[in-house]
Chains A and B, each alone.
Chain A
């Protein structure tokens, strides 16, 4: 790892954290990562993270689900075993389409939701049996942790962070 030393500032309120993030960003320091017990609205924007592309992925997954439902229902109900749907034995997919709309809708949602969650986990580098990267277990309870790399400006950062209302500031040496 390039960064050998990081500073961990711990906060106990999300509003204080948001204000702190804005101050730190205003002083042009790089924030490596923030650990929070729950999603904080607007944190990604304040940190200057690139916008998420998961919505685009979700849209594409939804389209896949829609296509799967269409092909599947066409095979099951029209080709493989033609069905008389609602007394209308037309055996045409288009004419029987209203009957398939609930399935098309459900599979669109199913594909979008499940694949989106899986994508999110993989992109966040979380998978079964993975060891937690969490530096401080209190961030899973009621504390917020901001991680800033130190480049020989430890004193300056320490002062800045204590001004922003951090309840605890630790310098951690990551060199193993």
Chain B
């Protein structure tokens, strides 16, 4: 069945992109606040209540670097104590120094915000299509009989991977290079000044340097895109073939890709996410990010499938296919929670200062998004999708899926923001505009890719099984 993108959908995507782009430009433009403006703003805030007192405590987080908080909580507490001591005795010199530091800190956080917001949204959509690509490869390697009807939908979604991943890498590198307008807004380790004063980052310089970051990023993206290119090529060639040779080729490259993927995905998550907190590390971080991308990927597959089916374009897709997708949404949500908790519990239990600071900042400054996303990503899908019958009801899947996607956006938000904007976070124009922009771009690329080939692989050896699939 040939698909033609409807004008309404194309227009929606373009409007989303334009509105998003305007919002992003606006937030970049307005983020260039000066020292005096921030000082004014903060003193105004302090007149409105005790906002300044709280903010002053957080000011201590800006230690040697004037960037956002990257030091350990223990040091912060020591500072807070000495600070209150100074206050009590009215030490004026220290106070002025702290005041300057604090304003600098807030100013940099405000400069970082549009960068981070743009980066979070870019990563979120890249992550969806990368998750779908891995899911697609798994379907071939396991020779699944239920899924061939939706393989073309997956191919459409993975079309976003190459542009999406390049954008993520570009933002990351641009944030760390002055001539592209960045001022080390996302990754502090890209700032030579910070590295010069930081023994821990100096020890990691063999991995954390901008040249290596760029080369590794290009290798990851190159490998994924190469697999995607050939898988798509064989998939289209298989439609007109007389034997299963193309299918077997895809089977082989899918197996190889999955090995490549699980290594590069893990390294990608260290590079693109974990290194925003260059002092902190977690050994299962790659798996944790992987679980998140699988949930989002399967959810988007279900969304696109339901959309196309509602247009009457995938008549063979039945309740049972939907049921299977919803089962994966449910299962990967549980899997994500399992990994999230495994990471959290070990760090919480051992209580080592350089590790636990990660969760301390999140629980202190990000209480609502931190616990909110746990409820959205675990309790909500658990209760909503547990019942077998509900997994076959489209509007139930849509409802659960919207909450899951929002929850995982906040999850990525929680991974990046505490390191870059600290307690100056909010969900406002920068975040929403970035989301709108990438939603538009994603819809545009995915649905354009869907028009390029028939929506069903006509000669997949398992297509008959998939058509007759019922549970």
Contacts and interface: CB of A to CB of B under 8 A. Distances in A.
Interface string A53-81: 00100010000000000000000000000
- Chain B interface size band reads 10 to 19
A86 B351 contact: yes
A55 B349 contact: no
B230 interface: no
A84 B345 CA distance: 16
Given A42-B471, A55-B387, A101 B341 contact: yes
Contacts of A86: 348-351
A42 B348 contact: no
From B348, B388, B470, B471, name the one whose CB has the most chain A CB atoms within 10 angstroms. B348
Given A42-B471, A55-B387, A55-B388, A87 B351 contact: yes
B263 interface: no
Given A41-B471, A42-B470, A99 B387 contact: no
B471 A98 contact: no
Interface in A14-46: 41-42
A155 interface: no
A88 interface: yes
B386 A88 contact: no
Interface string B436-471: 000000000000000000000000000000000011
A87 B470 CA distance: 53
A85 B387 CA distance: 36
Interface string A90-130: 00000000110110000000000000000000000000000
B344 interface: yes
Interface string B360-390: 0000000000000000000000000011100
Contacts of B348: 86, 98
- Chain A interface size band reads 10 to 19
Contacts of A99: 345, 349
B351 A88 contact: yes
B417 to A, nearest CB: 23
B351 A98 contact: no
From A42, A88, A98, A102, name the one whose CB has the most chain B CB atoms within 10 angstroms. A98
Nearest to B383: A59
Contacts of A59: 386
A98 B470 contact: no
B281 to A, nearest CB: 20
B7 to A, nearest CB: 42
Contacts of B350: 86
B345 A98 contact: yes
A41 B469 CA distance: 12
B349 A98 contact: yes
A55 B388 CA distance: 9
A101 B344 CA distance: 12
A99 B470 CA distance: 42
Contacts of A55: 387-388
A59 B470 CA distance: 25
A101 B378 CA distance: 14
B141 to A, nearest CB: 24
Nearest to A88: B351
A101 B345 contact: yes
17 contacts: A41-B471, A42-B470, A55-B387, A59-B386, A85-B349, A86-B348, A86-B349, A86-B350, A86-B351, A87-B351, A88-B351, A98-B341, A98-B348, A98-B349, A99-B345, A99-B349, A102-B345
Interface of A: 41-42, 55, 59, 85-88, 98-99, 101-102
Interface pairs A-B: 6 shortest CB-CB: A86-B349, A98-B345, A98-B348, A87-B351, A86-B351, A101-B341
